Structure 1
């Protein structure tokens, strides 16, 4: 029984924020003091490391659940299914709906339930729940959907990854330039005409690594001490990812019985261009090979890091021929791989 993707969709917000828009920000170090360098230098170094030149932010009237709904509508239409036939809606996110100007994330009801409501699905047997698994949440949702279908508990699932990280960043933290908003979705089902999940691997490292990404107050000592923002130990995350992700990807490939030479594209979480490049190089070194040119599509330059939304959005763009110099054909073997808060890692080997 082939279990795979029959439809994809994404929603890319319309508000473009460029690096130069941060020139007037008052960036502070972790101790609340000013940096020695001017913002022009900070931004130049940021772009050299991350590859990001601009990112997308959601319009104020749209929440994470709205972005997920808009991506889901496209995925359902692309798959050509009746939405009432969905058995599960799995929504991967980290912070719920974040209304501009409010200091709390809203997850009551779940975002998956909100999407089901917006889609006007009447079937009560369509179960909707949220996945909190850091940036690898959409990939993990795909793994769970496959398990449901393989066990006979479901026939069709909708898996969504969405985030509005622009609303949970500390404007005094230079890392705030990394984050962005967006949503991607996929229909997964048992279908002889679909692609096929060939194998997967997941891991959680929480013995010292659990709080590499965390919630904390602003770096501005005059700011509200009760409001929390996304924070990270960037160097530790970089080292962790380069050490552990390549091996997890190799484990995934080996379990699926797939050769590294068969892999046509690797859709890796768009976290940091230099980090992603290092991960791919190290993966190929494990096989004593060089990474092929063009193996890794990248959207981070224009879209930033939208967490769980990066992989489904990227795959949808390439699948529909909307990313220059990249395409996938029926029968191609590709990989999805991610790392993020938890610290969680996962990967999927997939035949298109």
Structure 2
């Protein structure tokens, strides 16, 4: 068997903000829905929210931190973990949705690109290291990884750094109870092209965009408080419809990726799925197994961090991977030969997945 180029992970890193935001932080909030104040006690709203999403805590960045800065922190850790010279990176792909948002500004800054800002912070002088951003909703990091695979397998690149970072605490509506789902964080992964006869690394991938009928499930919109003026726009989602969409569509995309890899769900040892909503992810996995006529999802297949990290959008999957690889998610690890699925869903509506052999 002749050698082929495999896209393999050689380093990971993450940055988890220090500020822990529990449900109690929202006890004095004023929540509105459809222009009317919610009559339920906040303690009841918060409890019900935690039951549905499984989120107990989330993380927010410090007042002086920006997305590019926490992305750079995760990248530094990934470079150190890989043990490589940073000047050997061919691409830096920074995946985000809102760029840099200074505290209390609600204004998005993407000039220059966050990837360029990271390259500058890392002190990389190699002009052949190309730095650019991807805006692809929550599935951005997965899509960045797919692009890295294309670059590497084409022979155009040897090493690609893919970062996912977001500071959603700066763009959420404090009067919208759905805002309790969102958080801040950053994760980074370095991929390398390796010539091997054995098929490893990224085996197959699949991406879909369901914009025609579902593009409005996650959008920017005005605040929930009818008395608010100033024209600020906030992250808004149709939670119920998004849940229904994800539970039906995401399993089908994952199966298509597994099919392309010539495998079946029983070959999969671990699933790194976007940490969007605990119960939604559970429902997605149950539906996926039903596509294979299986009624039971094995235990210790899907590591979860949403209960204590919340939903940090593009950062959830690379952060989860980094924590598992470094033994920081109890009951989960990977060994050589294990097959993993990486999958996400988000604004667009985009869905993507790739299959990976360690």
State the TM-score, normalized to the length of structure 2. Answer: 0.96
Superposition RMSD in Å: 1.1
Distance (Å, rounded) in 1 between the aligned partners of 2:16 and 2:214: 31
2:18 — aligned with what?
A: 14
SS at match of 1:122: coil
SS at match of 2:132: strand
**Unpaired segments of 5 or more residues in structure 1?**
none
SS at match of 1:208: helix
Structure 2 residue 255 is matched with structure 1 residue 250: yes
1:136 — aligned with what?
A: 139
1:269 — aligned with what?
A: 274
SS at match of 2:207: strand
Does structure 1 conserve the Cα–Cα contact (< 8 Å) formed by 2:106 and 2:170? no
Distance (Å, rounded) in 2 between the aligned partners of 1:319 and 1:312: 11
SS at match of 1:349: strand
Distance (Å, rounded) in 2 between the aligned partners of 1:233 and 1:199: 31
The partner residue of 1:209 within 209, 214, 219 is 214
Deviation for aligned residue 1:36: 2.5
Distance (Å, rounded) in 2 between the aligned partners of 1:196 and 1:66: 29
Number of aligned residue pairs? 351
1:115 — aligned with what?
A: 118
Distance (Å, rounded) in 2 between the aligned partners of 1:27 and 1:4: 46
1:343 — aligned with what?
A: 349
Residues 86-144 of structure 1: CA deviation (Å, up to 9, x unaligned): 11000000000010011211000000000000000001111000000000000000000
1:191 — aligned with what?
A: 194
Deviation for aligned residue 1:196: 0.6
Does structure 2 conserve the Cα–Cα contact (< 8 Å) formed by 1:270 and 1:298? yes
State the TM-score, normalized to the length of structure 1. Answer: 0.98
Deviation for aligned residue 1:81: 1.1
Structure 2 residue 307 is matched with structure 1 residue 304: no
Alignment of 1:31-110 (within 5 A): 31-110=34-113
Distance (Å, rounded) in 1 between the aligned partners of 2:200 and 2:118: 25
Deviation for aligned residue 1:259: 2.1
Does structure 2 conserve the Cα–Cα contact (< 8 Å) formed by 1:271 and 1:300? yes
Runs of 4+ in 1 over 6 A off after TM superposition: none
Does structure 2 conserve the Cα–Cα contact (< 8 Å) formed by 1:5 and 1:195? no
Deviation for aligned residue 1:268: 0.4
Does structure 2 conserve the Cα–Cα contact (< 8 Å) formed by 1:95 and 1:105? yes
1:5 — aligned with what?
A: 9
Does structure 1 conserve the Cα–Cα contact (< 8 Å) formed by 2:209 and 2:348? yes
Residues 56-108 of structure 1: CA deviation (Å, up to 9, x unaligned): 00111110000100000010111111111111000000000010011211000
Does structure 2 conserve the Cα–Cα contact (< 8 Å) formed by 1:217 and 1:225? no
Distance (Å, rounded) in 2 between the aligned partners of 1:169 and 1:195: 40
Deviation for aligned residue 1:195: 5.1
Distance (Å, rounded) in 2 between the aligned partners of 1:276 and 1:65: 28
1:278 — aligned with what?
A: 283
Residues 293-336 of structure 1: CA deviation (Å, up to 9, x unaligned): 12110000000000000000001000110111111112110110
1:126 — aligned with what?
A: 129
2:323 — aligned with what?
A: 317
1:232 — aligned with what?
A: 237
Does structure 2 conserve the Cα–Cα contact (< 8 Å) formed by 1:338 and 1:347? yes
**Unpaired segments of 5 or more residues in structure 2?**
none
Does structure 2 conserve the Cα–Cα contact (< 8 Å) formed by 1:218 and 1:225? no
Deviation for aligned residue 1:192: 5.2
Distance (Å, rounded) in 1 between the aligned partners of 2:62 and 2:195: 39
Structure 2 residue 330 is matched with structure 1 residue 288: no
Does structure 1 conserve the Cα–Cα contact (< 8 Å) formed by 2:6 and 2:153? no
Deviation for aligned residue 1:41: 1.1
Distance (Å, rounded) in 2 between the aligned partners of 1:186 and 1:99: 26
